[in-house]
Chain A
């Protein structure tokens, strides 16, 4: 089992995801430079946090045209497991793999702090290690994490069980307290909190470990 980690110019959590997967969970990884066109041998792909291409224009708006993402799209459409964390979540919405958009936080400040969340795993392959309505704490670190979508869209997502992570105390003004979303197939997960920052007892909690380890099961 090998997990690909996409690296754009401006990604800055790529090495942190590698540390969490290799150093904490024990899964081998391979970096995928944004111009990479070979995903062979990969069992999952992580799009990490950061500021892809400087996040000019709009977060993730330029990244969606990266060559590597053409293959990631095909990989996801074929049922491959794809995880987008923070900027990665923004990229997934820009690509249309997940609905809605992420905008500037209410009050406009970048926020970095531990955030209590409620998990509703549904059929999401990345959340098999969590129980229904489990309360966990993961850190957030974003300036543009306010989830937005049409009211009807939100109702549909909720009805389908795709709102898999919610803020217990909404820090950024997201509609429906949405912190993370999965697609209908449950193979794609996008979330603003950073599970890779909660895999190492020395630097944070351990509530993210089961998310990254879920692919071992």
Chain B
């Protein structure tokens, strides 16, 4: 044992390692790097810096396969957020991050601080946050506990986002029993750069002062990063002190003061204090800059007296940042923060040697080479199984032929059941609690189209008072049921659908940020899921020209059931994608616009006549199969990225030329649900219906109506554009078929060979769709 050669520390090593979630091998490596045993505070610093949350010790080799460069990528993975070039001098910072474990034990504060943390990642770069989105997963709402978690999470997001004055413009919410006890809360933020230079985190300037700004440091959020990197148990509820408490009012001031400070040019480096607080910010700044940082804890503004060095270093108190500033500019800079009622103090200086030195009461409390903490962090190697796990192979043997020929429900019933599925149904109950309009740039609010659209009008300075015609579109997506059944196809589908959603509003997809929410990677299946999902993300991002600019990894999302078994979540690689809207006047929604407009299905066609089953469409892993047959099984359809790319490009071009009145992608629930949603979305405008005629076919009717698969979009084409539309279609050779027409009658009718299959009134569809979630949350939809 390497450690044995050093003087034994004054604490119980096994107990301390357990607390810090470190292994004996980690401890031996720490001793080797320090050439001595770490003291307790130092061990705590390694504990957080070597957690999955901070150093991706399980996932790093897999993440290295992602495409990360492209003509528009200004900043890729590694900084606080990615940055893309929007042209015309505008640059967009964006990033997604999870707050799953905190939200599981303290939903309100857990979700609220998730929003606060992702906003700091954005404005630390010099960008003003302009939009928030979130991806949420809960267990079924039939369980009171999940109702409580959803109430708390949504209220927490609303509390923070609404107060800080950044609109929450979009997101997705889905439900599955695997998330009971381990909900997912992923928050994404977008920001428009307000500074000339992108503010980076590497320390510069030996002797330059280090300034602490924001809120005070307290004992909240102790060890949150290590906590986030372990499985959840009943005892996790005792870890509530590991959940931070957020103050959006302070953050609002911090945004304004930081952006002012960055514009002054006095700040040479900035790092927010998120996971692992002071430890992480000091070591990241030192390691990235190749320099050192000396930090005097006696100068750190503290919330309470008597805090130990360990507590200072590991506190995850919110709304704090660390700056390196030009000498002589300290007072002017600190005055800006005082004006906003914030703390600001010189707490240290930049050192020539590459070390993090922490002083307290005039003594060295910790001294660690920055590179020992932040560079070459340990990697947990896992073997990738060569064959899919047996349980997955069993799922893949399922086929549609196993479904009964005679079904105990009508197509009308099936459609209403799907519209009542909380994963498909309206999320109005959620988004009406979010201020989605503040900043006066929200062009497409939640629920209006396949993606949110925000106008690119700066909040201040040049251009703030001028009309702007460009916008940014954003979306978050993950078909978790598909990922659970086939991680590679599911992950590809997440990217493909995100890009398709952006294309449906007319936006050009630019880049993604990803949030990998997975169970433990320590089981063969867990690591296989993670590895194959990463492979799928890479393939799809390459094929669709949307590089990865960074993201977040959240592992060990599983709950230990009372009987001792582990309940892993569906692997959930959430894709957050941003796109550029060149002309806001051409943005399209999902609602039909006028009676008489033709309805076309673009992309993978419906099977006609005796045509064989198209492998790109399937009821396997579909909402229909789960909702109407109670089964989550089968192998999700093949993903045709070549067709996906051409269909999306064609649609964007058609939208830019004004040929299309509405566009909506076929997702959960397939053709019938997409058509119903086109009708329901008209309720806020002029109520319209649709009549569709599907081709005579040997395929099962439920397959034609409800099968799912990528590269399919329902569009409506105005009568006066019909000729131009057909001409363009012929020229581009994109598969498309005319299915019907928008009608003034408030109903959806679907026929096959003249025989009605389904006829449903708009009112009945809307009632199901709108009431699904409020009813389960124990309230009437509109009776507040």
Please report A residues at the B interface, Cβ cutoff 8 Å: 9-10, 12-13, 15-16, 18-20, 22-23, 49-51, 53-56, 105-107, 109-113, 139, 141, 143, 169, 171-173, 194, 196-197, 200, 202-204
Contacts and interface: CB of A to CB of B under 8 A. Distances in A.
B464 A141 contact: no
Interface string B215-253: 000000000000000000000000000000001111011
Nearest to A10: B249
A16 B439 contact: yes
Which of A15, A55, A169 has the most C-beta atoms of chain B within 10 angstroms of its own C-beta? Answer: A15
B439 A10 contact: no
Nearest to A200: B440
A9 B162 contact: no
Given A12-B163, A50-B165, A23 B437 contact: no
A202 B455 contact: yes
Contacts of A55: 163, 249
Given A109-B433, A202-B455, A23 B249 contact: no
20 contacts: A9-B249, A12-B438, A15-B464, A19-B457, A19-B464, A23-B467, A50-B165, A54-B248, A54-B249, A106-B784, A109-B155, A111-B784, A112-B162, A112-B433, A113-B432, A141-B437, A169-B782, A197-B437, A197-B440, A203-B437
A106 B438 CA distance: 23
B466 A204 contact: no
Interface of B: 155, 158-159, 162-165, 247-250, 252-253, 340-341, 431-443, 455, 457, 459-460, 464-467, 584, 779, 782, 784
A22 B457 CA distance: 14
Main SS of chain B's interface residues?
loop
Contacts of A196: 440
Nearest to B459: A15
Contacts of B163: 10, 12, 51, 54-55
Contacts of A172: 784
B440 A105 contact: no
B456 to A, nearest CB: 12
Contacts of B341: 9
Main SS of chain A's interface residues?
loop
A10 B249 CA distance: 6
B354 to A, nearest CB: 39
Given A9-B249, A10-B163, A54-B247, A16 B340 contact: no
B437 A204 contact: yes
B160 to A, nearest CB: 11
B440 A141 contact: no
Contacts of A109: 155, 158, 432-433, 784
Contact of B437 (A9, A110, A111, A112): A112
Nearest to B468: A202
Given A15-B464, A141-B438, A9 B784 contact: no
B162 A15 contact: no
Contacts of A16: 438-440
| Ranked 10 nearest A-B pairs via Cβ | A12-B165, A54-B249, A16-B440, A51-B163, A141-B435, A107-B784, A23-B465, A110-B158, A112-B435, A110-B433
A112 B435 CA distance: 6
Contacts of B435: 110, 112, 141
B443 A202 contact: yes
Contacts of B433: 109-112
B439 A173 contact: no
A10 B443 CA distance: 24
Nearest to B457: A19
Contacts of B248: 51, 54
Given A22-B465, A50-B165, A139 B437 contact: yes
A31 to B, nearest CB: 10
A159 B467 CA distance: 43
B455 A9 contact: no
Nearest to A13: B438
Nearest to B342: A9
Nearest to B587: A202
A47 to B, nearest CB: 16
A173 B253 CA distance: 32
A141 B165 CA distance: 11
Contacts of B252: 9-10, 12, 51
A40 B264 CA distance: 30
A210 B163 CA distance: 27
Contacts of A139: 437
Nearest to B584: A202
Contacts of B465: 18-19, 22-23
A22 B465 CA distance: 7
Nearest to A172: B784
A21 to B, nearest CB: 10
A2 B434 CA distance: 33
